[in-house]
């Protein structure tokens, strides 16, 4: 018997979380071995580790408590990885040496697998005087380009690229450029962007008043607040970024308002953190806790929920002590405040099993009740830990109890904290759970609605062929098992049909009892009007949310996968690069068509010439071989090696666009160069750009930074409008915007997971 509720769950475990030797030999024989490994590792912080190991194992059993992916993959492995998901780096000094020291710290953090956030508001604006060198500043966005190149170069733990969040205050002189930057599809691809919106700014927007853009004591420009707000809204309407973070609301509610100021968040936004702040994540799987699903008495046993929450809090508190940290400053910050981020997943499925329609008043009330029960249990459990192990070192009862969050707490919780202190400064957060929700049997992720009742997944077999399997939402599968072929009730709704206001209502209901923040994507229809779109953000502000992120499918962002439609709606293949999957190299014809490109690197005395020859298959053109030549003999060895390796890859067929991505990600520590108005991080990256342009010219790629034009092996059920991006890991077109991150439903790949 298997513990997995669906084949995709076992596949995710095997790919992402199963402990293996370097050669791929499995160490975790079963998922029970994985649970045992995690339980044993976090129990090492206990005085009686064996007893606690059993309790921790029972919490993990049957996917009831889901530690975040970093913990599940890394705990007990002995590997040099951090178990923390979320980091905000130190304040960036407004100096060249300080900026590049920050870059070094970011690289070290991502090397261990942490996603990071940065506030770039501290860097002087473009054009400002740089004293002592008689030059003008290049501005924060130019340095963000360098961070972006670094991020694409560093391979995070678990074979995953790092993810970053960049924030900028709404009163920074370069905020207008920051707002518009994602209009360039090739720029800052490794960043999520959010504007830090203040209470004063929102008041000015509502009053249609003036707004000053300031750095230091100097006012650089005065704009109308509503005009700037409209620019933010238009950018996110068109490009899905930047998000909006209501930063004053975050600082007012923060339990640690007396000890820190927050100006940035982790990549998905659920963890607002101070400089060098660190937080770990875990989720209670509500879908596994519903008793009598789809019956009149369906519900969650709050006593059982409280017990599970208490065990989860203890486990997560132990992770603070057993985890490695990339930087000593991060360790010190984590141990001084002992932040944890306990959240939920499977909320929408649990609501369905209780007969509630996501987004209705009754569902919002139930969501609020469950989140309050979790918050109460978590805070009381942390008080008990404080009695046993001591409060977090920076605890001060009076200011702690005066925070916005604690003033809303029940009086018995406040009294317990006042008397005994509390072990963890903050305890709750709703994280993206795109991958662990698949691992738990395809439960709905976080507090998101069900994305789709079912969809067809393409599974790549060892022989190169692909088979189809149906992936069914957990609640829908439960309905089938209990009700047979009975039609789904009217209260079954999904993200494709839900009105945006319902999303906001559920986020606001959950936020009341979450002391950090919530990672949530509000799906809006492609044809929503701009004024209606803006109302979504204003509703989020008016109802107490700490931030807002939307996703509107369009020609730029790509469309959301539509499931269940008829086969005759699949678009016909377009002219362009055919993708061929095979194990033997393609035969070379006697003659090939191609093109030669001249590349002049600024610091090189000789030009490099790149020749790309193409093969035509089934009337479509694709790259077949590359020749790289230079008169500079210092280049001879690596150009020959690169020629042979790239040509060998091209001749194997398949999705070869990753060659472009890998070359463009190479970062030269000696520095890159500006070419045609863009910063290129290395000569190899420039060659990658040449190959990318050639692939665009022959129709193999849609455009710069975009995925393949056609993949005949990824036969999606149907698509409404333009095709979305291909998954960089498995190549399927199942990438979905989930809680601020593009996540692949086929393989679980996510740059932010």
Rounded CA-CA distance 653/582 in Å is: 7
Has 295 been annotated as catalytic? Answer: no
Closest CA to 87 of 117, 120, 122: 117
Contact 53, 39 (CB under 8 A): yes
Query: Across-strand partners of 750?
Result: 743
Contact 424, 340 (CB under 8 A): yes
Rounded CA-CA distance 265/280 in Å is: 13
Rounded CA-CA distance 13/8 in Å is: 9
Contact 675, 686 (CB under 8 A): yes
b/e sequence 214-243, b meaning 16+ C-beta within 10 Å = bbeeeebeeeebbebbebbbebbbbbbbbb
**What is the β-pairing status of strands 278-285 and 86-88?**
antiparallel
Question: Please, how many CA atoms are within 13 Å of residue 115, restricted to the half-sphere of its CB?
Answer: 34
Has 268 been annotated as catalytic? Answer: yes
Phi and psi (nearest 5°) for 401? -75, -15
The contacts found for 44-49 with CB under 8 angstroms, 24 or more apart, are 44/318, 44/322, 45/318, 45/321, 45/322, 46/318
Inter-axis angle of helices 49-60 and 302-322, nearest 10? 120
Quote the strand ranges of 593-653, DSSP E. Answer: 593-599, 608-617, 620-630
Closest CA to 287 of 427, 429, 428, 433: 433
DSSP character for 14? I
Contact 234, 530 (CB under 8 A): yes
| 3-class DSSP assignment, residue 434 | helix
Rounded CA-CA distance 253/511 in Å is: 11
Q: CA angle, corner 191, sides to 186 and 192, nearest 5?
A: 115
Which residue in the list 86, 151, 170, 268 is annotated as catalytic?
268
DSSP character for 339? -
Rounded CA-CA distance 235/232 in Å is: 5
Query: Across-strand partners of 457?
Result: 469
| Total Cβ atoms within 10 A of residue 54 | 11
Closest CA to 506 of 552, 562, 450, 437: 450
Rounded CA-CA distance 159/81 in Å is: 12
Which residue in the list 53, 105, 241, 270 is annotated as catalytic?
270
Q: How remote is the C-alpha of 427 from its chain's centroid?
A: 20
**Residues 617, 620, 621, 622: is their CA dihedral positive or negative?**
negative
Contact 348, 358 (CB under 8 A): yes
For residue 242, whether the previous peptide bond is cis, meaning omega lies within 30 degrees of 0, is: yes
Which residue in the list 85, 251, 254, 266 is annotated as catalytic?
266
Q: Alpha-carbon Rg of the chain, whole angstroms?
A: 26
Rounded CA-CA distance 424/309 in Å is: 14
Rounded CA-CA distance 470/745 in Å is: 12
Contact 94, 122 (CB under 8 A): yes
Contact 42, 75 (CB under 8 A): yes
Contact 342, 400 (CB under 8 A): no
Catalytic residue list: 266, 268, 270
């Amino acid at each position: 018997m298997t513990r997995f509720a669906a084949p995709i769950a076992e596949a995710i475990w095997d790919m992402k979380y199963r402990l293996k030797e370097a050669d791929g030999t499995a160490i975790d024989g079963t998922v029970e071995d994985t649970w045992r490994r995690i339980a044993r590792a976090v129990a090492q912080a206990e005085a009686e580790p064996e007893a606690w190991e059993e309790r921790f194992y029972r919490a993990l059993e049957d996917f009831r408590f889901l530690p975040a992916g970093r913990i599940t993959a890394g705990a007990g492995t002995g590997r040099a990885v951090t178990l923390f998901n979320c980091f905000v780096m130190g304040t960036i000094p407004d100096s060249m040496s300080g900026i590049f020291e920050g870059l070094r710290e970011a690289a070290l953090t991502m090397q261990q697998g942490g996603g990071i956030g940065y506030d770039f508001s501290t860097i002087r604006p473009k054009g400002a005087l740089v004293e002592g060198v008689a030059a003008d500043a290049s501005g924060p966005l130019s340095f963000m380009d360098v961070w972006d190149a670094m991020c694409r170069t560093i391979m995070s733990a678990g074979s995953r690229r790092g993810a970053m969040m960049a924030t900028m205050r709404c009163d920074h002189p370069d905020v207008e450029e920051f707002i518009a930057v994602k209009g360039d599809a090739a720029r800052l691809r490794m960043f999520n962007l959010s504007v830090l919106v203040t209470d004063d700014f929102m008041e000015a927007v509502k009053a249609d008043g003036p707004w000053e853009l300031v750095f230091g004591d100097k006012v650089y420009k005065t704009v109308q607040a509503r005009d700037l707000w409209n620019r933010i809204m238009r950018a996110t309407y068109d490009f899905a970024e930047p998000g909006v973070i209501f930063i004053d609301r975050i600082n007012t509610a923060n339990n640690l308002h007396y000890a820190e100021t927050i100006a940035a968040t982790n990549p998905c936004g659920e963890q607002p953190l101070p400089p060098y702040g660190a937080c770990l994540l875990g989720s209670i799987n509500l879908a596994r806790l519903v008793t009598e699903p789809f019956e009149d008495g369906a519900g969650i046993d709050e006593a059982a929920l409280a017990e599970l929450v208490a065990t989860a809090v203890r486990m997560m508190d132990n992770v603070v002590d057993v985890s490695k940290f990339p930087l000593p400053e991060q360790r010190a910050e984590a141990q001084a405040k002992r932040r944890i981020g306990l959240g939920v997943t499977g909320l929408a499925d649990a609501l369905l099993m209780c007969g509630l329609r996501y987004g209705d008043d009754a569902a919002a009330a139930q969501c609020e009740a469950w989140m309050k029960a979790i918050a109460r249990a978590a805070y009381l459990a942390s008080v008990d830990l404080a009695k046993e192990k001591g409060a977090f070192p920076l605890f001060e009862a009076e200011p702690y109890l005066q925070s916005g969050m604690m003033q809303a707490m029940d009086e018995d919780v406040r009294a317990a904290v006042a008397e005994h202190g509390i072990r963890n400064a903050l305890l709750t957060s709703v994280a993206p759970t795109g991958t662990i929700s698949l691992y738990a049997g395809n439960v709905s992720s976080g507090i998101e609605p069900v994305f789709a009742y079912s969809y067809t997944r393409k599974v790549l077999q060892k022989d190169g062929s692909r088979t189809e399997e149906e992936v069914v939402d957990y609640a829908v599968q439960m309905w089938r098992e209990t009700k047979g072929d009975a039609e789904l009730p009217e209260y079954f709704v999904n993200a494709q049909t839900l009105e945006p206001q319902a999303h906001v209502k559920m986020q606001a209901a959950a936020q009341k009892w979450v002391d950090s923040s919530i990672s949530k994507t509000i799906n809006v229809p492609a044809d929503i009007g701009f004024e209606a779109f803006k109302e979504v953000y204003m509703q989020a502000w008016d109802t107490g949310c700490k931030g807002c992120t939307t996703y509107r499918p369009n020609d730029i962002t790509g469309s959301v996968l539509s499931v269940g439609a008829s086969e005759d709606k699949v678009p016909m293949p377009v002219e362009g690069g055919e993708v061929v999957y095979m194990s033997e190299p393609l035969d070379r014809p006697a003659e090939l068509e191609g093109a030669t490109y001249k590349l002049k690197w600024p610091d090189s005395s000789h030009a490099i010439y790149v020749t790309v020859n193409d093969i035509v298959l089934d009337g479509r053109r694709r790259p077949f071989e590359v020749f790289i030549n230079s008169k500079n003999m210092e280049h001879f060895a690596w150009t020959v090696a690169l020629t042979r390796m790239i040509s060998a890859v091209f001749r194997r067929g398949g999705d070869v666009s990753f060659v472009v991505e890998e070359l463009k990600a190479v970062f030269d520590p000696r520095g890159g160069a500006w070419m045609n108005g863009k910063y290129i991080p290395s000569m190899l990256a420039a060659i990658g750009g040449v190959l990318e342009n050639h692939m665009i010219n022959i129709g193999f790629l849609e455009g710069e930074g975009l995925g393949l034009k056609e993949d005949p092996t990824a036969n999606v059920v149907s698509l409404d409008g333009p095709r979305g991006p291909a998954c960089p890991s498995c190549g399927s077109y199942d990438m979905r915007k989930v809680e601020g991150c593009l996540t692949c439903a086929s393989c679980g790949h996510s740059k932010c997971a």
